[in-house]
Structure 1
Amino acid sequence: MNTSTQDGLANPQRLGAIITIALGITMAVLDGAIANVALPTIASDLNASPAESIWVVNAYQIAIIISLLSMSFIGDMVGFRRVYQVGLGVFCCTSLFCALSTSLEMLTFARVLQGLGGAAIMSVNVALIRLIYPKRFLGRGMGINSFIVAVSAAAGPTVAAAILSIASWKWLFLVNVPIGIIALFFAIKFLPPNQEKSAGQRFDIPSAIMNALTFGLLISAISGFSQGQSATLITAELLAVAVIGFFFIRRQLTLTVPLLPIDLLRIPIFSLSMCTSICSFCAQMLAMVSLPFFLQSVLGRTEVETGLLLTPWPLATMVMAPLSGYLIERVHAGLLGGIGMAIMALGLFILVMLPASPTDLNIIVPMILCGAGFGLFQSPNNHTIISSAPRNRSGGASGMLGTARLFGQSTGAALVALMFNMFHDNGTHASLILAASFATVAAIVSSLRMTQPKASSE
């Protein structure tokens, strides 16, 4: 088997490796959204209240975001392939643990462990793509990855509904076991090792603890805000974030290879791309979480009709993400991203201005625009983030990319709750205006990247 990673892998190893990445990231991303639909059933089955059952979702999300940067750092140290393989093994075993859970406490603990496995998978998947694809084709690899992440995130509720229509909620987790075993077999057979390690790189345990506390408390505060928790608790969490975060960043500035890659954030095109990534996922989440309320509560559409009307978004992303991966080889990522976010903003503004009794076509056309714009933006943006970092810092860049996505999604979901609390029946309208604003900001910031040299993938 060819293990040369100087300029990607040759087929059929490259094909086997990308299938491995696709299987792993699909499971990890899907499980972030798939449990939402089943929460009422899970709460009833495990004799828990609806508020308590929310922890089935929160535990997974928080476990991922507190460990993502640590996992990517370890990937830079010991190799992305090892971290990915361990992540797949943990994810597979803990999915079985979730399915066998007989109480909410047991399921929540299993979801924490499953989140750690998911973090290992997510933290290095983009770094592995940099090893799998030749430099000249890296954009195509990013296109495929963006396509998988976007579609998996959007398809979560649909997949969950399909499984729940024929089986119990336990199968939401059991289905991961055979897929995980196949993915692990492929990972052992096809994934390449990475030879380049950061000189003198050591895992700093205090940094890992402060990282976990900073991001964990931040996401907890955002989630608590969206769920209407007491202002005192949320304020205490945010104060703790400020204090711990201050010492965390100060410590990172003293390290040669920091856990939080501040050295990468000093690269202008990297930091601009991170900003646009957060804004884009925040805009997507604002729209995708708020629209079902409008379609069902205001327009009186059924759950099935709502699902069908939301489907053009991920379908358009499926088409555009791979295409934009090809275009990045010829066009500056700043221009592609700016156009993509401008198209998404246009689609969102059209949704804002829908007539009182819109037809299906009135809804479908802007949904296509949103999905197409999102797909056109994501691949070039991810390509820029990973290729603007030195090759021996690919793990850090990959971890930051995943952190930006999760932070953007968490913030977007919390802002939907705020909009509904502030504007009540007009919550969806306010959410869409805010989403369009984020997309517009992302378009402007993305265009600013055109003043920076084009990332080379070296």
Structure 2
Amino acid sequence: MELFSDLPGDEGLPGVRRRRAMLAVMTATTMAVFDGTIINVALPQIGLALQTSAAASVWVANAYLLATAMTLAAFAAMSSRLGFRNQFTAGLAVFTLASLGCALSPSVEWLIAMRVLQGLGGAAMLSIAPAIHRTVFPNRLLGRILGLNAVLVAAGTAIGPVLGGTLLAALSWEWIFLINLPLGVAAVLLSWSAIPDTRQRGRLRPPFDMAGALWSALAMGAVIMAADTCAHFADPGQGAHAALTAAAYALVALVSALAFVRGQRRVREPLLPLDIFSNARFSLAALTSLASFVGQGIAFVALPFLFQNAYAYSAFESAALFTPWPLGIVLVAPHAGRLADRHSPALLSSLGLAVFTVGLVLLALLPDHAQAWDIGWRALVCGMGFGFFQSPNNREMLGNVSRERSGNASGVLAIMRTFGQCLGAALLGVILAVHTAGAVAHGELQMSPVQDGEAIRVALWVAALATALATAVSASRLRRKAQSPA
């Protein structure tokens, strides 16, 4: 296989060790993706088993997301001190042991605490996973390995709910965590033996930027909480309170972000070196990623409402209707990654985003009573467009920084994805709140299926607008010459 072939002048690791490192990173990625998709299916059973409310059960999912988002920037910066091997292996070990703790949890409070630990371990891994690929593989193969990684995430997204449903039907909720143990042990052994030790030795370094880590954690945590609060806008009894709470979180996020940026300009060794954004192609790729994930975030949350509330499909049928989206990514992403190693990543990602935008417009134009096949082919177009965009854009981000800054670039990539998805969810919350308020004003207790459909179509048009903006930002890179990484 060409991924593991060695040519004169290749950077990275020899082919045999490259294979082991890839297996370690991809196994860990699979665990993280499965954990994020399976848990939502299991929440009702977990609430019943631990005798807790639905609101408390939701925090089993939210605790992981919060812990991950709040520490992505810190772990991305810490990797230059700890080294990729040490940090990735330690994060993987924490994630695996926390999975065992989740399975043995006697109460929902204990389970939430273990999910926070899982989130910390996940952040330590996910913040540097793309950077490890950059370190392990030569530049000529970077697009291909990022394409394979996109396929893995898409396949995990599609298979996760099915696997979760199967485990819950045959066994119990504890097994959605216990399944991580054999995978985690194997990945720890592989990562320790294959991932290179990238610690920078031989020089004194200033203290770690703890203030930057705290400000970034506060900013990201406040963004997540603001997005989560927006989901309650549609509740007539909590709408006003939710709006004030979301505004307070947004203010905290803004103040923290400004304090973070100001601090990064003053410290000797900042958490996130702002000079990496002086490379215009890197900055534009990051903005492209942010806008595209806003569109994806809206669609991912909105479509289940459309399928179940407006079209009256069951939860299982809704999951099946969504399957063409990740299937499209699986079909296209490897080819996009290969092409990105030979042709302009900016051109390829712009074309992919244009197709993604068309797919979202097609979904927004769905009729009031859509057939399954009609939904499926439109979702497939979205997946193919997103799959053609993601790998080249990620390659553009990582390829426009030096190898020493790969950890920082990888962290920016993860932050753009998380922040974009949260902003998308918040926008959907606002759209649903406005439409629900309109229904209440007309004396209705809740929206009818037709009104649900109208609200979701508005959301899908907003998602298409976000991806059209991403397409324009991405295309602007075509007028700029590639810069040598700093």
Q: What TM bracket, shorter-length normalisation?
A: over 0.9
Measured after TM superposition, the shift of residue 325 of structure 1 is: 0.6
Native 8 Å contact 1:85 1:188 kept in 2: yes
Aligned-residue offset at 1:198: 11
* Residue aligning to 1:325: 337
Report how far residue 274 of structure 1 moved. 1.0
Cα distance in 2 between the residues matched to 1:80 and 1:225 = 37
Letter in 1 for 2:182: P
TM-score of the superposition, structure 1-length normalised?
A: 0.94
- Superposition map of 1:132-147 within 5 A: 132-147=136-151
CA distance in 1, matches of 2:363, 2:113: 40
Cα 1:63/1:357, change in 2 over 3 Å: same
Tell me the SS of whatever aligns to 1:230: helix
Please give the alpha-carbon distance, in whole angstroms, between the structure 1 residues aligned to 2:348 and 2:113.
Answer: 42
Identity value in percent: 38
Q: Which amino acid aligns with 2:103?
A: A
1:429 partnered with 2:441 = no
SS at match of 2:39: coil
Pair 1:198–1:152, CA change in 2 (3 A): farther
Q: 1:306 and 1:313 mapped to 2: Cα distance?
A: 12
**CA distance, structure 2, for counterparts of residue 262 and residue 447 of structure 1:** 23
2:213 is matched with 208
Which among 272, 279, 287 is matched to residue 267 of structure 1?
279
TM-superposition CA deviations, 1:197-221 (whole Å, max 9, x none): 7974641112111121121122112
Match of 1:102, as an amino acid? P
Deviates more, 1:43-52 or 1:200-209: 200-209
* Residues 209 and 134 of structure 1: CA distance in aligned 2, closer, same or farther (over 3 Å): same
Per the TM alignment, residue 427 of structure 1 is displaced from its structure 2 partner at its CA by 2.5
User: What secondary structure sits across from 2:155 in the alignment?
Assistant: helix
Unaligned 5+ runs, structure 2: 1-5, 234-240, 437-451
Unaligned runs of 5+ in 1: none
Q: Which of 1 and 2 has greater Rg? A: 2
Residue of structure 2 aligned with 1:297, choices 309, 313, 323: 309
Trace 1:390-429 onto structure 2 (pairs within 5 A): 390-424=402-436, 425=452, 426-429=454-457
1:322 offset after TM fit, Å?
1.1
| SS, match of residue 41 in structure 2 | coil
Q: Residue 40 of structure 1 corresponds to which residue in structure 2?
A: 44
Question: Which residues in structure 2 correspond to 1:21-420 (within 5 Å)?
Answer: 21-194=25-198, 200=205, 202-228=207-233, 230-420=242-432
Provide the secondary structure at the position in 2 that maps to 1:14.
helix
Paired residue secondary structure (1:273): helix
The aligned amino acid for 1:210 is: W
Aligned residues of 1:196 and 1:391 also touching (Cα < 8 A)? no
Q: CA deviation at 1:399?
A: 0.8
Asked if structure 2 preserves the Cα contact closer than 8 Å seen for 1:222 and 1:411, the reply is yes
Aligned in 2, Cα 1:168/1:427: closer, same or farther, shift over 3 Å?
farther
Tell me by how many angstroms 1:355 deviates. Answer: 2.3
Cα RMSD over matched residues? Answer: 2.2
Counterpart CA distance in 2 for 1:163 and 1:427 is 35
Farther off after superposition, 22-31 or 316-325:
22-31
**Matches of 1:192 and 1:255, distance apart in 2:** 29
Displacement of 1:40: 1.6
How much has 1:13 moved relative to structure 2?
1.6
Contact 1:281–1:412 under 8 Å retained in 2:
yes
Deviation (angstroms), 1:455: 6.4
Going from structure 1 to structure 2, the CA distance change for 1:202 and 1:324 (only over 3 Å counts) comes to: farther
Q: Give the number of aligned pairs.
A: 456
CA pair 235-302 structure 1, distance change in 2 beyond 3 A = closer
SS at match of 1:193: coil
Shift of 1:387: 1.2
Q: 1:431 to 1:157 in 2, by over 3 A?
A: farther
Distance across 1 between alignment mates of 2:393 and 2:456: 28
